[in-house]
Amino acid sequence: MVTAPGSRRRHRETPRGGSPLCGSSQPPPPRRTAPPAAAMGSPQRPPLAHVFRGTFVHSSASAPMEILHGHLLGVDDSGTIVFLEKADQQEQLVKKWGFKTSDIRELSNHEFLMPGMVDTHIHAPQYSFTGTRVDLPLLQWLTTYTFPTEAKYKDSDFAEEVYTRVVRRTLKNGTTTACYFATIYTDTSLLLAEIIDKFGQRAFVGKVCMDMNDTVPQYKETTADSVQETERFVKELLERKYPRVQPVITPRFGPSCTEDLLSALGDLAQARDLHVQSHISENEEEVKLVENMFPAYQNYTELYDKNKLLTSKTVMAHACYLSEEELKLFSLRGAAISHCPNSNFSLRSGVLNVQKVLKHNVKLGLGTDVAGGYSASMLDAIRKTMIASNSLQINKVNETGLTLEEAFQLATLGGSQALGLDDVIGNFEVGKEFDALLINTKASDSPFDLFSADNFEDTLQKFLYLGDDRNISEVYVAGKQVVPFSSSV
């Protein structure tokens, strides 16, 4: 990660005579070489790419939501946030960073900046049928719709069209970071990574691994091929040196994998220090199936753990039916959970008790889980998180529910923690990269109305509950504006 220039060692300032000892009667020492211009006076700093003045909304470790009115935020040309200060510090900041008043981008009183949202679980190939076919439970849904669709992704033209559209749509919806499942096909999975890089999104991409599939036998690999192709996928993706797209080891889930495959993938993840993603305890039928298939393991979590797939770089989707014992193991390993409430409701899989997970000190982010989840918007994930929490309160499972501020935190900082990126993104802390959304609550075709009595908190809640991509006027990843799309993409 780029160090914030503010934390670099400063040059010691010396008077023009060259001696640091002001008032000394000694003559200045002879000059050996002319110092670089930067050594004279204040150190030369890189030019700033952006300076914004206005309202900033983000989460911190101590507060699920902080609203900072009248602040200045600066981003250097490497995309790193170098200051976030009250606007009354402008004069000192100008001296220190050398920007002009005309460089400041003034936000209007109906605009604010928030961190980009992090989708911790999304299936790129399923985007082609998003918004349809959520009429079956998980295992039947996979067999009837999902596996036959994913089998089409051998075709690179088909893959290119869908993958281009899913990256464009998620970016427009404010997803600056996504953790993608692709398919079992290596070449089109690499194509997905290429498209993500071209559009400037930050992402993990996984080539799916599955060596068991009795229901749609044409959509599976041999164990040896799955391991070999995963190794090739990882090698080729890393060789491309995309700045913000990384590989992730992706066994589909317990029922699709033999023990040999899980073990080999765990070894690969450990040897290459890679991230891991999969599904766990999504619905009750799946949990029973895993019990029957892997009787030697105490539970679903142990299946992954004993095969080195439950690590501090692991994110597991769903987790609706984990026991206390399993949650303790998640916490011990530092593994994360992706909460996918739209999909959990749409496929009638279950309801994750987020508060219980957080009480066990397990990292948790939100996911759209396209296409089990029918929306590719993380704003929808926030709303469904609230509904899931409310339903647990209605059914007397929990005494209290999550707040909207906490759901906002899970969609931003929580997601960055779940993906192990919280030292790089997640909020507007100095030293992190500027992944951000410029929100306009009075966009010309905004889907909600504002009234004179609305204060800022009202306006913010209206955006979170009612807003959509029409209110997201600009999207930034690592300081680069990626929405509106440039003509080159």
pLDDT at 22 over 50: no
pLDDT of residue 124 exceeding 80, the answer is: yes
Residue 152 exposed, middle or buried by CB count within 10 Å (0-12, 13-18, 19+) = middle
- Give the model's pLDDT for residue 43: 54
Three-state secondary structure along 142-189?
HHHHHHHHHHHHHCHHHHHHHHHHHHHHHHHCCEEEEEEECCCCHHHH
pLDDT, tens only, 95-116: 999 999 999 999 999 999 999 9
- 488 alpha carbon, distance to own chain's centre: 25
State the sign of the Cα–Cα–Cα–Cα dihedral 295, 300, 301, 305.
positive
> 6 pLDDT exceeds 70?
no
Provide the pLDDT for residue 2. Answer: 36
Mean pLDDT (the chain) is: 92
Mean pLDDT of all residues in 305-315 = 98
Structure confidence at residue 489 (pLDDT): 77
pLDDT at 162: 98
| Closest by Cα among 211, 230, 213 to 221 | 211
Q: Tell me: pLDDT of 392 over 80.
A: yes
Q: Span 371-399, mean pLDDT?
A: 98
Quick one: tokens of 170? 């998620």
Residue 44 — pLDDT band, cuts 50, 70, 90? low
Q: Is 220 helix (H, G, I), strand (E, B) or coil?
A: coil
List all residues 6 or more positions away from 103 whose beta carbon is below 8 Å from its beta carbon: 48, 51
Q: What is the pLDDT of residues 326-384, one digit of tens each?
A: 999 999 999 999 999 999 999 999 999 999 999 999 999 999 999 999 999 999 999 99
d(C-alpha 257, C-alpha 160), whole Å: 27
